[in-house]
Amino acid sequence: MDNINLRGYGPHLIKFIHVTKEYSRPEPALSDVSFHLVKGQFSFLTGHSGSGKSTALRLAHLVERPTHGEVCASGFSSLRTSRRDVWKLRRKVGFVFQDFRLLPGRTALENISFALEVIDSPKKQILPRAQRLLGQVGLAPKAGSWVDELSGGEQQRVAIARALASEPLLLLADEPTGNLDERATRGIIDLFWEINALGMTVLMATHDLELMRQYSSARVLELDEGHLVYDSAKAEPAFAESMRGPDEAPA
Amino acid sequence: MLYTVRETLIAFRRAPLLTGLSAAMVGLALFVVGLFGLATYNVRVYLETLEERVEVVAYLRDDATTADIAAMEGALTMLPEVLWVDFVTKAEALEKARELPEVSEIFTGLDVNPLPASIEIQLRPGNRTPAAADRIAQQAALHSIVEDVEYGQEWVDKLFTLRRMGAVTTTVLGTAFAVVAALIIGTAVRIAIFARREEIKIMQSVGARDGFIHRPFLLEGGITGALGGILAVALTYTTFWSVDYYLFVISWIPWEWAGIGVSFGIAFGVVASGYAVRKHLREV
């Protein structure tokens, strides 16, 4: 996988500035949330179900707009990016879904080729790039397999490869291992770490505490009822201690 | 472009019944427009033949001299609305009356000719209107040798009223059924968007431009409109042929009108699809 060129995007690749998101229910989904991720950072966004994790990712992907405040991702602001230009952000910010969202009736290679076609890739480059992306996620031998012939972990790898098709700077993942067993989960997270090691900024929503303990060097942002209640970048030592595994030395 | 065409064909293959029904409903809606167009065209053709009979007749006094008649003919011929003038003698008027079945009995065997001489004034095409006929009648009446002037005021007025009504009716009904056709296409596109919502979500999430997503639906709408338009022309022609063969002679509309009808079908299809796509894509 190629190293990622992050020149020209400032130190922060994603910023939430006093973000509130309200829906019709009385309690806001997010309430005055502020944080920023620096380039190349790997962060977990955690919290119980309904805490606002998915909402935060949807705002970062400009699927929705904040009710108050501003979200900036890969240089695109929620206040200044029109609906017509959202596609530009989405080519800089990849998204991996919990339910994979692959196209049925197509092979692994065709799913990635479709994404490359959608983002106006030159026709001659589509097939070689799709094959390379599949190779990077370790699925080159499965290029011709239909989507429903792949295991859950393999489908998620294809989804990750598709998210990387536009060579984004930031990768958002909404509970990408939620539907996977332990072994597949480990494989997927390792893949995300490899991608991060090449410079990709990763923000992954998860409620799996064990997972976060295993990757304790990652930053942790915790949401509770829409409020940002913990940020490991500003953490108290006691909490940081609770996040380490039994064999890890203190920071 | 290749993606647009490919995805449109896939959509048609995926839901042939939906496409067929949409095209059929558009075709039926435009068929009604076609029927009114056929009727209006034939009314227009019939009215145009009647218009040729719009003429002003100035009945002359019995003491009109040849010189006065020639002078009047000369003056009327100079008027821009006048195509030609024709002097009909008393004897010629009697001869014409005897040739009319409804009055020949009355005028046959008369010793005295009661009919006056007259000057018949034919108007130029485009000037066979109540207003023009009235102007010429007034000009003719200025001559002292004229006893009376007639141009069938009542039926000329009715003729033009009928023509205006036909045009307005066709326009109103045509617009109404065109709106119906647009609504049908819009609904079909909405169903197509719903059926492909997962694919559209994926396209949006990886960064597809709006145009990339819209184009297959626009093409689909245009093709549905075209198929509907062609069907409407075929049904209208079938109706024309049946009436012409079994009932009475009518004229087929100019083929340019049929072409315009199909073009409108395509245009409505594209516009209706565009509106539906913009409105409903946000709901995906």
* pLDDT mean values, one per 10 residues, chain A (251 residues): 47 89 92 93 93 95 95 92 92 94 91 92 93 94 94 95 93 92 91 93 92 89 94 65 46 41
Rounded Cα distance, B137 and A173, in Å: 89
Q: Where are the domains of chain B?
A: 2-49+159-283, 55-150
The CA-based angle A53-A54-A59, given to 5 degrees, is 100
What pLDDT is attached to residue A105? 83
CB B156 within 8 A of CB B141: no
Chain A residue with minimum CA distance to B210: A84
Interface test mutation site (partner B, options A87, A110, A119, max chain B beta carbons within 10 A) = A87
Band (pLDDT 50/70/90 cuts) for residue B282 is low
pLDDT averaged over every residue in chain B? 84
Question: A47 in the Ramachandran plot: left (φ > 0), alpha (ψ -120 to 50) or beta?
Answer: left
Q: How many helices (H) and strands (E) does chain B have?
A: 10, 4
- Please state which CATH number belongs to domain B55-150: 3.30.70.3040
Band (pLDDT 50/70/90 cuts) for residue B127 is confident
What pLDDT is attached to residue A45? 96
Interface test mutation site (partner A, options B13, B205, B214, B215, max chain A beta carbons within 10 A) = B205
What pLDDT is attached to residue A10? 56
Average pLDDT over residues B29-48: 83
Chain B residue with minimum CA distance to A112: B206
The answer to whether residue B207 neighbours chain A at the CB level (below 8 Å) is yes
What pLDDT is attached to residue A236? 52
Helix (H) or strand (E) holding B27: helix B16-51
CB A189 within 8 A of CB A202: no
Band (pLDDT 50/70/90 cuts) for residue B114 is confident
The pTM assigned to this predicted structure is 0.69
Q: Which domains does chain A have, with CATH numbers?
A: 12-103+168-243 (3.40.50.300)
The answer to whether residue B129 neighbours chain A at the CB level (below 8 Å) is no
A91·B199 Cβ contact <8 A:
no
Rounded Cα distance, B36 and B172, in Å: 11
What pLDDT is attached to residue B23? 85
What pLDDT is attached to residue A239? 46
Average pLDDT over residues B230-248: 93
Residue A45's SS3 state is: strand
Neighbour-count burial of B105, counting CB atoms closer than 10 A to its CB (0-12 exposed, 13-18 middle, 19+ buried): exposed
What pLDDT is attached to residue A235? 66
The answer to whether residue A247 neighbours chain B at the CB level (below 8 Å) is no
What pLDDT is attached to residue A5? 47
One-letter amino acid identity for A47? G
Contacts of A160 in chain B (CB under 8 A): none
Instruction: Chain A: give the shortest CA distance to residue B129, in Å.
Output: 56
A119·B3 Cβ contact <8 A:
no
What pLDDT is attached to residue B8? 80
Instruction: Choose the weakest-confidence range: A102-111, A179-188, B28-37, B159-168.
Output: B159-168
What pLDDT is attached to residue A244? 46
The pLDDT of residue B30 is above 90: no
What pLDDT is attached to residue B194? 80
What pLDDT is attached to residue A29? 94
Please report the residues numbered 100 through 139 in chain A whose beta carbons come closer than 8 angstroms to any beta carbon of chain B: 101, 103, 114-115, 117-120
